[in-house]
């Protein structure tokens, strides 16, 4: 019995040590670094942060939760973009975010493709979809984390 309990404890404890606990960053290839950075900062509210690589074709931005996007200016011709492959960010209130998009003339749509539409997920979370200047799909929702 002691061996079983000890084995169970080791398995559970080791899961805590190697389990993923937070999202850190994602890297995306972009056509125009400055245009992309402007979109993520001005439209999505990220802040520009120091990029320690020193490479002029790389820049980093970060949201208020410390999650980063590393943008790399390079050829995008081999990248296939589809709404099914998207990344998602939550906002405290969707309506003010939508008003910001409308003021900036940034279009958005529902999952079904209705321009200006909002999708309500089965769990009640409201979501919209938009594309960055490179064509990447981004979901914005009001899920409270």
What domain count does the chain have? Answer: 2
HSE-CB of 99 using CA atoms within 13 angstroms: 4
Q: Are residues 98 and 125 in the same domain?
A: yes
96: CATH: 3.10.180.10
Asked if residue 12 has pLDDT above 60, the reply is no
Phi first, then psi: give them for residue 37, nearest 5 degrees: -60, -45
Mean pLDDT over the full length of the chain: 90
Look up the pTM and report it: 0.83
Domain ranges, residue 59 = 20-75
* 96 in a structural domain: yes
Taking Cα atoms as reference points, which of 23, 24, 22, 34 lies closest to residue 71? 34
Structure tokens at 11: 């398995």
Do the strands 119-120 and 58-62 form a parallel or antiparallel pair, or are they unpaired? unpaired
* 14 in a structural domain: no
| Comparison of pLDDT for 40 and 15, the residue scoring more | 40
Please write the tens of the pLDDT for every residue from 50-97: 999 999 999 999 999 899 999 999 999 999 999 999 999 999 999 999
pLDDT at 24: 80
25-47: average pLDDT: 96
Torsion from C-alpha of 96, 105, 87, 115, nearest 10 degrees: 90
Structure tokens at 44: 């999505």
* 122 in a structural domain: yes
pLDDT at 17: 61
Cα gap 114→106, rounded to integer Å: 14
């Amino acid at each position: 019995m002691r061996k079983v309990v000890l084995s169970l404890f080791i398995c559970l404890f080791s899961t805590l040590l190697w389990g993923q606990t937070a999202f850190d960053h994602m890297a995306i290839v972009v056509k125009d670094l400055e245009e992309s950075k402007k979109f993520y900062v001005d439209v999505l509210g990220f802040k520009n942060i120091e990029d320690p690589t020193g490479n002029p074709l790389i820049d980093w931005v970060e949201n208020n939760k410390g999650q980063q996007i590393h943008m790399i200016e390079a050829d995008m011709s081999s990248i296939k973009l589809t709404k099914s492959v998207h990344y998602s960010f939550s906002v405290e209130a969707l309506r003010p975010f939508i008003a910001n998009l409308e003021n900036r003339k940034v279009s958005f749509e529902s999952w079904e493709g209705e321009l200006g539409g909002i999708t309500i997920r089965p769990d009640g979370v409201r979501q919209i979809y938009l594309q960055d200047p490179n064509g990447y799909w981004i979901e914005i929702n009001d899920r409270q984390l």
